[in-house]
Each structure stands twice: as structure tokens, then as C-alpha cells.
């Protein structure tokens, strides 16, 4: 007798981008059968009318073990997250992995080691506009090397947050990631609205290293100002030349980050023609309040760790970007207290399915699921995940194609952490993290060490 069988659901085969009505049996945390047979099970879940898909793999998160962020991720169907993005991560990955394995976490976690905040600070670089010296670069390489040996998924860059980073240190980070055959996700740095050299410099580093480059939250970087299409052209051309380059994006154009970062530097605000009235506090006592100069000054100088959302970009560009065959879904979700944050933390995947599959019909159901599962699993070489096949980990999400919808809103318009509708079951390594639409507060996620 198997542990669980999901009966009569539309089971997605992401390898062929097809689906069929079948039963999925789970035992000891693994998928053991997908067929028309209904194996005897301790629990039978009627999946008729539901899509049965591999659990979603979010390649761009900042969950880093945060409990509430994990809950919100699970509720939108994410069963694996890649943390430590944008150059912000723990540095002692050995200790971090051990700690996470000990305490347990709701979903599976891979973790990057971050350059632009974490390693630079660790080697004593206080000025975000300063280049690392040769000695500091060597010291960062040693940190990265130790983290990669401990099983980090790659090296993340957040160059917007350390705009002074030198080409030599970027090269060094690309080289060490490539040496281990791991990914180099980058939040690119744009000095002007149309700064396509932000892409070229990373393509140059990737070409020299021979490694894999992942362009993070692409729409946040390039939407608006007519830059997205030329930026996509640059990536298209690079791929046509054989470059190993990929991109991820969420379903929003309005990006968020900490008030104290270089992104909200006054000069950057001027360079990018950003307006205070287009910004809204996402965390802290001013959550949901639109900024004016006074509030900007207050947040920037007194509450630099609070997040600000900047209304920006053109929504149609999301669809254009995510339709690219090399584009995969991500959230950019982070650690927020209840009632705070950006709707990406709770609404990204249901919004993707609602808008791009059901309402606009820009992607077929199976192709959309592929962009949330197998494509990210392949990008990060995550074994045993991203596919529904016997022998694979029992990470599953069941959703109602016709009812799935995001309820999370921008914090000045509603609840940013409102859970979605239409995702009644989420299973992580054979354990229900969401059951009947209710979060189960489980800890069946494992750490993914390379």
C-alpha cells in the first residue's frame, strides 16, 4: 500500500509538454507510479478537475530559511527555492546547511553564495562604489570556494548594489562558479535607463569563464523606457552565438528593495527619472504609504533596512519576456512580516497561470508548467526534481486551472501576503505542506547541496 494516490487529475509531463488524465502514487517521499491504475493507498486524494504538476522551483528568492516567507511560497505552489540571490547570502554555507537541516524547513532550499553585499562586506569593502583590490578579490574567491565546496548552488551577483565592482572581481566570481560547474545569477547594474552594457559586461565575464549565466528578474531590470526589447535582442544574439545564458522573471514590473541600498541613492533616482510619488513603503510602520521627499529621507536614513516598492515598467513586457524559450518563472520573494511586503511573495505563480495561461492564452498550460519546473531544475542541475516520473521526489502542486488566482495586492491597495485561490494541495518530499488549501506548518523540505 502506497502512502498517497492522487486520482483522476490532469498530470503534466514537462518533458514533452503534454498532459493526460492519470493517477499519481507516492510512497516514502518518492513518486512510485503514474498510470491509469489506482494503487491501494493510505490516503486517496480526488484530483479530478485539477492539474497535477511538479512542484514549482523558484530560482530567484531571498527566503534564506525565513518561516513566513516559506509558508507563502508553499501556498503558491513552490516546493523548492534558490536563495542567496543578488549577492546577499550567508557565507558559512557549511554551517547554514547544517542549521537548516537540523531545524527543517517547509520547502527544499538550494543556496547561493553572494558577492555584492556579503562577500564584499566580509573582506572590508564599505564603499559600494569602490573596486575590490587584488588582495580583496583573492579573499572573496577563497570565501566563494569554501561555500561552493560546502554545496552552494552558485555565486550570485547584485551589481546594482555594488556599482563600483571592478571587472576583475566580476571575472573572478564568474571563474570560480564555472570551475565548479555552477550557475552565476546576476542582478545586473544599470547606470542609465538604457544601459545595455550591463548585459555585455556579464556576457563578457561568462564568455571568459565558460560558465552558465542567469540574468535575474529580467523584467525588473529592463522594463520601461523602451529598453526591454533591445535587451532581449542582446540575449537572443548571445544565445545564437552559443552562449550558455538564461533568464528569470516574475509577474510584476514594480520592483522592491531596501531603502538604504544604492538603488535608492538620490543620484540613481535622478538618473532613472524615478519619482517619490511612484514609490510605496512595503515594510515597517509606513507600510502602504506613498513616498514624498520627507518620507524618502526618513526611510533612507533612519530605516535603511525597510523595503520600498517602486512602481515602474510596462506590464505587457512581462509577457514578452516570459514567452522567450530561455525564460523561467521566479518570484524575488523575501522575508517579510505578516501584512507587509510585495505581492510577489504570495501571488507570483498563481498570477502567472491566471494571466499567461488562462486569460491571455500566451502560453499553453504544459509549457507554462515547464517554465516553473523542469527548466529551472535543468538550469540549476537540481537532481530528482522538476519532473513527475517514478523515482523522482514527490514534490507536487495541484491547482485548478480555471480557478487559480492571485489575491495579493500592492501594500497601498490591499494585502501583499494574501494567499491565492485554486491551489488546494502542495506536497514536499511526500508530505502535504498545503492540504485542502490550508497551510500545514510542516518541515519536510530538504537542503539541496551540490
Partner 1 sequence: MAQRICFLGRGGSGKSTVAQNLGHALALKGYHVLLVGNDISLSSTVLLRGEADISPALEDYREHYEIDLNDYVIPTPSGVYCLELGSIDPGVGCLARGVTLIDEMLDTQGVSNSLQLDFILYDISGETPCTGYILPIREGVMQRCIIVTNGSFASVTTANSILQAILRAAGADNFPVQLIVNNASCEETKEELASYARRATIEILASLDYCKELEYSSLAGKTVFDTAPDSACAAHLRAVADDLLLSTIPTSLTPFPRRELVAWLRCWQRRELARRLALADTEACDG
Using DSSP's 3-state secondary structure scheme, residue 373 falls into coil
Strands (E), 225-373: 245-249, 255-258, 279-281, 307-310, 327-329, 333-334
CA atoms within 13 A on the CB side of 43: 10
| Contact flag: residue 192 with partner 1 (CB under 8 A) | yes
| Contact flag: residue 200 with partner 1 (CB under 8 A) | yes
| Contact flag: residue 130 with partner 1 (CB under 8 A) | no
Give the span between the Cα atoms of 138 and 417, in whole angstroms: 41
Give the contact letters, 266-295, x = binds to partner 1 (CB under 8 A), - = no. Answer: -----x------------------------
Restricted to residues 19-58, the positions that interact with partner 1 (CB under 8 A) are: none
Binding segment (CB under 8 A) for partner 1, from list 37-45, 192-200, 250-258, 331-339: 192-200
Buried b (16+ CB within 10 A) or exposed e, 124-148: ebeebeebbeeebbebbbebbbebb
| Contact flag: residue 203 with partner 1 (CB under 8 A) | yes
| Contact flag: residue 134 with partner 1 (CB under 8 A) | no
Q: Where are the alpha helices (DSSP H) in 21-114?
A: 67-75, 93-103
Using the rule CB under 8 A, which residue among 197, 276, 319, 439 binds partner 1?
197
Q: Which is nearer to partner 1, 69 or 172 (CB)?
A: 172
The two beta strands, 279-281 and 255-258, are unpaired
Binding segment (CB under 8 A) for partner 1, from list 1-9, 120-128, 184-192, 408-416: 184-192
Binding segment (CB under 8 A) for partner 1, from list 73-81, 205-213, 327-335, 424-432: 205-213
Q: Which is nearer to partner 1, 166 or 437 (CB)?
A: 166
Using the rule CB under 8 A, which residue among 13, 64, 195, 395 binds partner 1?
195
Using the rule CB under 8 A, which residue among 44, 92, 191, 260 binds partner 1?
191
Number of continuous H segments (helices) and E segments (strands) in the chain: 14, 23
Phi-psi region of 217 (alpha: psi -120 to 50; beta: other; left: phi over 0): left
411: nearest Cα among 304, 252, 268, 267: 252
The two beta strands, 307-310 and 51-54, are unpaired
Binding segment (CB under 8 A) for partner 1, from list 194-202, 292-300, 356-364, 425-433: 194-202
321 is written with which cell numbers? 519576456
Cβ 181 to partner 1 shortest distance, Å? 20
Restricted to residues 217-256, the positions that interact with partner 1 (CB under 8 A) are: 227, 230, 233, 238, 243
Using the rule CB under 8 A, which residue among 146, 208, 324, 443 binds partner 1?
208
Query: Taking the mean position of all CA atoms in its chain, how far away is CA 197?
Result: 24
Cβ 238 to partner 1 shortest distance, Å? 8
Cβ 175 to partner 1 shortest distance, Å? 13
Q: Which is nearer to partner 1, 171 or 400 (CB)?
A: 171
Q: Would you give the DSSP letter of residue 418?
A: P
Size of the site for partner 1 (CB under 8 A): 25
Give the span between the Cα atoms of 257 and 251, in whole angstroms: 16
Binding segment (CB under 8 A) for partner 1, from list 74-82, 113-121, 197-205, 436-444: 197-205
Phi-psi region of 84 (alpha: psi -120 to 50; beta: other; left: phi over 0): left
Q: Which is nearer to partner 1, 39 or 234 (CB)?
A: 234
Cβ 213 to partner 1 shortest distance, Å? 11
Q: Which residues contact 447 (CB under 8 A, 6 or more apart)?
A: 97, 100, 101, 105, 108, 109, 110, 111, 151
4: nearest Cα among 29, 21, 22: 29
Give the span between the Cα atoms of 11 and 33, in whole angstroms: 12
Q: Which is nearer to partner 1, 232 or 382 (CB)?
A: 232
Q: Are 405 and 64 in contact (CB under 8 A)?
A: no
Cβ 165 to partner 1 shortest distance, Å? 11
| Contact flag: residue 439 with partner 1 (CB under 8 A) | no
| Contact flag: residue 381 with partner 1 (CB under 8 A) | no
Q: Which is nearer to partner 1, 270 or 285 (CB)?
A: 270
Using the rule CB under 8 A, which residue among 67, 196, 403, 418 binds partner 1?
196
| Contact flag: residue 201 with partner 1 (CB under 8 A) | yes
List residues binding partner 1 (CB under 8 A). Answer: 166-168, 190-198, 200-201, 203-204, 206-208, 227, 230, 233, 238, 243, 271
Amino acid at each position: 500500500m502506497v502512502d498517497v494516490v492522487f486520482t483522476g487529475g490532469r498530470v503534466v509531463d514537462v518533458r514533452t509538454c503534454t498532459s493526460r488524465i492519470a493517477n499519481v502514487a507516492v510512497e516514502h517521499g518518492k513518486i512510485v507510479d503514474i498510470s491509469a491504475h489506482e494503487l491501494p493507498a493510505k490516503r486517496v486524494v480526488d484530483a479530478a478537475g485539477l492539474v497535477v504538476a511538479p512542484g514549482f522551483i523558484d530560482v530567484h528568492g531571498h527566503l534564506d530559511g525565513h518561516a513566513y516567507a516559506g509558508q507563502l511560497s508553499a501556498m503558491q505552489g513552490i516546493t523548492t527555492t534558490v536563495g542567496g540571490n543578488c549577492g546577499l547570502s550567508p557565507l558559512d554555507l557549511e554551517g547554514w546547511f547544517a542549521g537548516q537541516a537540523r531545524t527543517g524547513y517547509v520547502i527544499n532550499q538550494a543556496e547561493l553564495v553572494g558577492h555584492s553585499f556579503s562577500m564584499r562586506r566580509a573582506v572590508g569593502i564599505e564603499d559600494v562604489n569602490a573596486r575590490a583590490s587584488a588582495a580583496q578579490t583573492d579573499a572573496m574567491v577563497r570565501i566563494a570556494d569554501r561555500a561552493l565546496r560546502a554545496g552552494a548552488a552558485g555565486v550570485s551577483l547584485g551589481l546594482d548594489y555594488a556599482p563600483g565592482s571592478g571587472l576583475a572581481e566580476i571575472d573572478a566570481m564568474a571563474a570560480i562558479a564555472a570551475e565548479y560547474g555552477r550557475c552565476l545569477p546576476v542582478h545586473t547594474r544599470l547606470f542609465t535607463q538604457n544601459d545595455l552594457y550591463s548585459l555585455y559586461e556579464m556576457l563578457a565575464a561568462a564568455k571568459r569563464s565558460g560558465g552558465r549565466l542567469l540574468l535575474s528578474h529580467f523584467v525588473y531590470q529592463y522594463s520601461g523606457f523602451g529598453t526591454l526589447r533591445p535587451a532581449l535582442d542582446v540575449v537572443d544574439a548571445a544565445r545564437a552565438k552559443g552562449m550558455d545564458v538564461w533568464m528569470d522573471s516574475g509577474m510584476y514590473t514594480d520592483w522592491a528593495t531596501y531603502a538604504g541600498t544604492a538603488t535608492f541613492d538620490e543620484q540613481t533616482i535622478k538618473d532613472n527619472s524615478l519619482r517619490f510619488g511612484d514609490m510605496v513603503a512595503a515594510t515597517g510602520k509606513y507600510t502602504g504609504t506613498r513616498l514624498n521627499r520627507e518620507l524618502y529621507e526618513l526611510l533612507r536614513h533612519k530605516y535603511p533596512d525597510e523595503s520600498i516598492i517602486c512602481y515602474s515598467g510596462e506590464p505587457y513586457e512581462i509577457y514578452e519576456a516570459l514567452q522567450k524559450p530561455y525564460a523561467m518563472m521566479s518570484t524575488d520573494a523575501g522575508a517579510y512580516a505578516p501584512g507587509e511586503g510585495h505581492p510577489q511573495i504570495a501571488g507570483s505563480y498563481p498570477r502567472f497561470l491566471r494571466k499567461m495561461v488562462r486569460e491571455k492564452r500566451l502560453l499553453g498550460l504544459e509549457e507554462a508548467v515547464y517554465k516553473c519546473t523542469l527548466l529551472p531544475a535543468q538550469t540549476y542541475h537540481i537532481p530528482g526534481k522538476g519532473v513527475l516520473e517514478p523515482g523522482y521526489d514527490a514534490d507536487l502542486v495541484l491547482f485548478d486551472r480555471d480557478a487559480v488566482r492571485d489575491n495579493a495586492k500592492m501594500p497601498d491597495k490591499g494585502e501583499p501576503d494574501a494567499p491565492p485561490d485554486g491551489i488546494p494541495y502542495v506536497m514536499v518530499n511526500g508530505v502535504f505542506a498545503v492540504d485542502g488549501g490550508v497551510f500545514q506548518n510542516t518541515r519536510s523540505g530538504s537542503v539541496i547541496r551540490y
